[in-house]
Structure 1
Amino acid sequence: MSETLEQRAAPAPDGPEQVRAAPIGAPVEGSADEQLPTPTRRANPFRRALAGATEVLGPWARVVWAAAQPVVAVVSGLGWVVLGIGFLATLAGFILGWSELVFLGFVPLAAILVSIAFLFGRSTFRISIHLNPSRVTVGERAIGQVLITNPGSRATTPTRLEVPVGFGLAEFALPAIPKDGEHEELFAVPTNRRAVIPAGPAVSVRGDQLGLLRREVRWTEPVELFVHPETTRLHPTAAGLIRDLEGLVTKTITNNDISFHALRGYVAGDDRRYIHWKSSAKTGQLMVRQFEETRRSQLTMVMTSDSRYYGDADEFELAVSLTASIATQVIIDQVPISVVTDRLALRTHTVTSFLDDTCRLQLAEGTFDTPRTFARETTKRLPAPSVVIIVAGSQLEAQEYRGIQRLFGPDVNVFGIRVERGARASIKDVAGMNVMTVGALSDLSKVMSRAL
């Protein structure tokens, strides 16, 4: 019967935390509140020191290190400590003539020699890691499955399997698996924070029970779990902010469009299709229609991820949820949209790809000097917008919103969303620009409806 497991995923101060799995349903400690770009494993300071020494000693040392690395790699950190104690104790015993110290030095050296026997053997596993589902919303449960099969001609020996999950490490004790047999292990990933959590690679470990020597074999590639931010549905009135089937009328005059503006005298080269014949007959000269230029609705969302403009990490998470809620509604309505942050332009061709990208957003530190510089640099290559929404935290001053608004023309509607957890929902006029204060995700639809 397979064992059900729960994985901790909290980072440790000095590297990846060595955690053991607990039964599904047990309380979860830690959180996956950071973007996790790569799975992490146990660090071996002795191996790092040897590798660093080769860089100092020169090319010949690197050649020696390349030849010795397969052997050195099987010695764990504890193994190096035991080996060092045994060598020093034996050497000191011979120098000082203490037979007792020599004996004490032989004991750890003998333990290393005995441990070598546990490294021999070959496994014939076929291992796969599955996450069900592979995309969840914050707070939903995600279950991981490790399926191990034996395609060999005889039963496997019991071994240990390690699967990194985020910054944690799940360990499984695999029993002997008969020929063509299967074994399944389950683990639950905590999803209390937005993140991209890698699971894998699955690594089988051979070694002694003391952990002096260990030989690893990698069987799979990492798979990713996307923990999407919480979102809320917008009220139809609020969603109408960016809906416009015929486009938005501007003050620019053009000779060819939909919205009629006025008549003027005919000029050589004008399209005859736009001659107004009734007016021409009355005035005795050819009159041509003029139109107000209309633009197709194009929403641009500018969300700063600079930590200077947020009170804390939770305020930033709320900003991500607000941005995701608006953009998701816009994508569903099939209105063109661009979403940019300090370090990432999010994909907006589908809801899934957009939400996947929001999982990778993190607080940054001083990417741009000012919010105006940030908005100018991140939007200068985007299509001309008809509506701009600025999302920032409680530490961004009101005049900064106005500074960003000046980057866009007078025909562009610019709104600001100021995120402050626990604040009362309100709308403030900043030099003719509406800046909405949102303190909770549930307030978004209401405050946007009032702003229209």
Structure 2
Amino acid sequence: MSRRSPSSSTAARGRFVRLLSAVLAPLRMLTPLGVSVLLLGIAATVLAVLLNWQEFTQLGVVALGLLVLGFVWQVLPGTPVAELVVRPSRLVEGAAAPIATLEVHAGAAPMLFPKVTLPVGGRSVSLRLPFLAPFARHRETVQLPSMPRGVHAVGPVTYEKTDPVGLVTRRFRTGAVLELLVAPRVTDLSVFAGGLTNDLDGATSQQLSMSDLAFHALREYVPGDDLRHVHWRSSAKAGQLLVRQYHETRRGHVTVLVDGARSSYPRLRDFELAVSVATSIALRAVRDDFDTYLRCGQHLARGRQAVAMTEVACRFVAGEDDYLAQAADAADGVTGTGLVVQVTGAARDLVQLDGAAHRFDRSADWIVVRADSEAEPRLRDSGSLREISVPDLARLQELLARGMR
């Protein structure tokens, strides 16, 4: 007698599981009422066979017939389509909740007061639509719940197709998935750039150049200097060649790094405060026309666009990020930065922050901002780093103004 191979036994079990799933699939479409009617129909049919009672036969036929009609209703042609619009799709945390406009196009089958569910992030909004005739259109305005900072998926719309008796139901998903961006709260920093190396629109840098716009001084001619830079009138008075020397004008650059490691924050609200602080600083730098680099984890934005800064801040999350490795990566990708702002929590070691700062240009200013909702507001110098503790966003303006002097 031959034995079955293990592979053939596995294939047989797989076919049996698929067959069982195909048989049970219609049963999953039954509502609680549908399950009750099915059990009633089976019981009535069994009693009718055993007792030969005509009344139970009629009851079983009616019950099972209603179930058949419910399944036939599900295969009627014409699937409804929903179009979803969210306004505004970008808002600030704490602002008025957005409004979703839902337009439903019915299919060939009428929609009997359908239940529609709209997922919003981890939540959902359910509503009952009125009766819709075949191919009818209906527009509904939905008030979405207030959401925290982040990027939240809105949709797709889930529609429950139920027969007139309510025995069989099936869910359809329709419409696109939209993004709702909720930006962090920010504060307007009217004082920020004081004391920083600016660009052509502000104070000049301390780097000297032989050819630029901001005049610095005259110095003695050195062999190899370009004769075009000789100031002949001053040279005639001094009796020796003097050449012009300039400040090197360059675009100012601000680097803002947010510590995304969950272990750096004793409280999750401190991370949200850190995101608000960093975004406020980045927006102030952008308004002052600085090239700005804002990063947390793998999410970063660079340039002079305020929209880019707020959008990337929506995507910041606290996790298991290696902040020191990402700070090193930022230092390699950023050149000529004039200010490095590290925004972190109370648990991050200052020695690590100092090491991260030293990876940047030695001529840059370095500052650490700790978001600590239970600490007293303070400013202190720790070696080469200036450290600010911010308990709430309202104190940032005052503390940062003192720290930048």
User: TM-score by structure 1 length?
Assistant: 0.70
Aligned pairs for 1:224-263 within 5 A = 224-235=179-190, 237-240=191-194, 244=199, 245-246=201-202, 248-250=204-206, 252-257=207-212, 258-263=214-219
State the partner residue of 1:165: 120
1:376 to 301, 304, 328: 328
How many residues in Structure 1 have an aligned counterpart in Structure 2? 378
Q: CA deviation at 1:118?
A: 3.8
Q: CA deviation at 1:402?
A: 1.9
State the partner residue of 1:51: none
Residues 274, 405 of structure 1: alpha-carbon distance in 2 compared, 3 angstrom cutoff: same
Q: CA deviation at 1:197?
A: 1.8
Q: CA deviation at 1:193?
A: 1.6
Higher RCO, 1 vs 2 (CA within 8 Å, ≥6 residues apart): 1
Are 1:191 and 2:146 counterparts?
A: yes
Are 1:450 and 2:402 counterparts?
A: yes
What is the identity, as a one-letter code, of the residue corresponding to 1:416?
Answer: V
State the partner residue of 1:416: 368
Are 1:428 and 2:380 counterparts?
A: yes
Q: Distance in 2 between matches of 1:271 and 1:158?
A: 85
Are 1:319 and 2:274 counterparts?
A: yes
**Partner SS for 1:295:** coil
Are 1:145 and 2:101 counterparts?
A: yes
Q: CA deviation at 1:119?
A: 1.3
Q: CA deviation at 1:301?
A: 0.6
Are 1:267 and 2:223 counterparts?
A: yes
Question: Which string of whole-angstrom CA distances, capped at 9 and with x for unpartnered residues, describes residues 273-323 of structure 1?
Answer: 211224533565433233443432111111111112111210000001111
Q: Distance in 2 between matches of 1:204 and 1:350?
A: 40
State the partner residue of 2:344: 392
Q: Distance in 1 between matches of 2:282 and 2:256?
A: 8
Question: Which string of whole-angstrom CA distances, capped at 9 and with x for unpartnered residues, describes residues 352-394 of structure 1?
Answer: 33222211111021x32xx443311133112421111111111
Is the Cα–Cα contact under 8 Å of residues 402 and 433 in structure 1 kept in the other structure?
yes
State the partner residue of 1:218: 173
What is the identity, as a one-letter code, of the residue corresponding to 2:332?
Answer: K
% identity of equivalent residues: 24
- The RMSD of aligned alpha carbons is 4.2
Aligned pairs for 1:90-109 within 5 A = none
What is the identity, as a one-letter code, of the residue corresponding to 2:371?
Answer: V
Is the Cα–Cα contact under 8 Å of residues 191 and 227 in structure 1 kept in the other structure?
no
Is the Cα–Cα contact under 8 Å of residues 422 and 440 in structure 1 kept in the other structure?
no
Q: CA deviation at 1:232?
A: 0.8
What is the identity, as a one-letter code, of the residue corresponding to 2:251?
Answer: R
Is the Cα–Cα contact under 8 Å of residues 247 and 297 in structure 1 kept in the other structure?
no
Question: Which string of whole-angstrom CA distances, capped at 9 and with x for unpartnered residues, describes residues 418-450 of structure 1?
Answer: 110132221110114211110000001111111
Q: CA deviation at 1:212?
A: 7.3
Question: Which string of whole-angstrom CA distances, capped at 9 and with x for unpartnered residues, describes residues 238-274 of structure 1?
Answer: 3546555245423x44322334255132424x32221
What is the identity, as a one-letter code, of the residue corresponding to 2:296?
Answer: T
What is the identity, as a one-letter code, of the residue corresponding to 1:407?
Answer: R
Greater Rg, structure 1 or structure 2? 2
Q: Distance in 1 between matches of 2:130 and 2:278?
A: 48
Structure 2 gap ranges (5+): 1-8
Q: Distance in 2 between matches of 1:207 and 1:179?
A: 15
State the partner residue of 1:44: none
